[in-house]
Amino acid sequence: MHCVILTLFPEAIRPYLDESILGIAQAQGKLRVDTVDFRNYACDPHRTVDDRPFGGGPGMVLKPEPIFEAVQDVERTHGEFHKILLCPRGRTFDQRRARELSHCERLLFLCGRYEGYDERIRENHTWEEISLGDFVLAGGELGALVVLEAAARLIPGVLGCADSAVLESFEGELLDYPQYTRPREYRGMAVPDILLSGDHAAVARWREQQARVLTAKKLGADPTEATRHD
């Protein structure tokens, strides 16, 4: 997968891109991530990327010219990308969409800033608009990192254990079950005996029960009802 992130702050996100799962995926050759500062495509000597909104109002709006030129240059060099616009009006991102995006050959993320985008940026390109939720960040960089990491970790071979991407929350109807590791007891808190029993069938039943309880709590349902499925 080849990803390009259009941002005014490439230095802020590059360290994260080169660490952990994203760094491993790039080292494996399964992922390539380029950061592009679209300020470099500004048309004036002052490299202006924003201006006051027509009609008045607070804040500044991203100008169309630098972003048009940046997208055109990237696609002229590398081919057409599936383009993602991070913005509050977009579809709320979820695990299903992460899995779908993991199959894309090329992804381009546009990270907004200030009061938003000149609407012609939306009108002139085919964007998938994505939101992380009903709240506002200072820019789209964190959103791009979230979407990219969620998709990249699902690329076959990126995770050390293939089951890790399957046996986890949001990959089915239930949240993931509680996990424990050594030590067996810590500050008076002990690992549930069932996990130490060696009875794999009993462990599987316990994990499903716990997953149902946690899922019921998240949905605001009665957790005791969840245990009746067993």
In the chain, the domains with their CATH numbers are: 2-152 (3.40.1280.10), 173-229 (1.10.1270.20)
The answer on pLDDT for 79 being more than 70 is yes
Query: Model's pTM, two decimal places?
Result: 0.85
Q: What is the pLDDT of residue 140?
A: 95
Structure tokens at 101: 């995006």
- Angle CA 40–44–46, to nearest 5: 75
Residue-wise burial string across 134-155, b where 16 or more C-beta atoms lie within 10 A, e elsewhere: eeeeebbbbbbbebbbbbbbbb
Average pLDDT of the chain to the nearest whole number:
92
- Tell me: the pLDDT tens digits for 187-199? 999 999 999 999 9
The band of 164, judged by pLDDT with boundaries at 50, 70 and 90, is low
pLDDT (average), residues 59-74? 96
Checking DSSP bridges between strand 185-186 and strand 189-190, what pairing results, if any?
A: antiparallel
Q: What is the pLDDT of residue 11?
A: 97
Q: In this structure, which amino acid lies at residue 228?
A: R
Q: 3-state class of 7 per DSSP?
A: strand
Least confident of 25-34, 113-122, 201-210, 215-224: 215-224
Q: What is the pLDDT of residue 229?
A: 52
The band of 124, judged by pLDDT with boundaries at 50, 70 and 90, is confident
The band of 68, judged by pLDDT with boundaries at 50, 70 and 90, is very high
